[in-house]
Amino acid sequence: MLSSDLLSQILGTTLVPTDLVFAPDLIVVALASRAESAPCPICGQRSDRVHSRYRRVIADLPICGRQLALILRLRKFLCPNAGCPRRIFCERVHGLAATHARSTTRLAQLQRMLGLALGGEPGSRLAGELAVPISGDTILRRVKAVPAVPLRVE
Ligand SMILES: [Zn+2]
């Protein structure tokens, strides 16, 4: 197995690592999509007509006590469906991060769990020690973002 395939599996994505930078407190992994086409999020038709490229930076769980930043080089495609209201759409990274999110789903889950267990400011202090710095207010927003499950009364 190639090391880039192994890293892709560890990160849980089909994106291919293109660069790796180590800093004292930070590891940066640059990733690019290897998919030849992407489905339009509105009509579902696949397109391989690239309109432009864009960069997205998202934080992930730390590695060896260092913060991990993923720099995704993604594409915008032209929708081939003339009847679709969306002419241009962005490539999605399913399973890694929500649309427009600046952290991976797994990092957001960890931060939410810290908020549920400790609250805002104490969770923020522990998060800093775990190399996933976040403000107390953001931890509370993560907790509030998940709808409460109603209790079942029997
Ligand atoms: Zn479309």
At 5 the pLDDT is 63
> How far is 74 from 127, CA to CA, in rounded Å?
29
- Report how far ligand 1's centroid is from the alpha carbon of 102 (Å): 25
At 147 the pLDDT is 74
**pLDDT digits over 97-137, tens only?**
888 889 998 999 999 999 999 999 999 999 999 999 999 99
Query: How many CA atoms does the CB half-sphere of 147 hold within 13 Å?
Result: 3
Query: Which residues lie near ion ligand 1 (Cβ < 5 Å)?
Result: 40, 42-43, 79, 81, 84, 86
- Report how far ligand 1's centroid is from the alpha carbon of 84 (Å): 5
Among candidates 44, 55, 53, which has minimal Cα distance to 79?
Answer: 44
> Is the CB of residue 121 less than 8 Å from the CB of residue 128?
no
- Report how far ligand 1's centroid is from the alpha carbon of 51 (Å): 14
Q: Which residues contact 104 (CB under 8 A, 6 or more apart)?
A: 58, 59, 60, 61, 70, 96, 97
> Is the CB of residue 111 less than 8 Å from the CB of residue 139?
yes
Categorize the per-residue pLDDT at 152 as very low, low, confident or very high, splitting at 50, 70 and 90: confident
- Report how far ligand 1's centroid is from the alpha carbon of 37 (Å): 13
> Does 148 score more than 80 pLDDT?
no
- Report how far ligand 1's centroid is from the alpha carbon of 97 (Å): 22
**pLDDT digits over 4-59, tens only?**
666 666 666 678 888 999 999 999 999 988 888 999 999 999 999 999 999 999 99
At 150 the pLDDT is 73
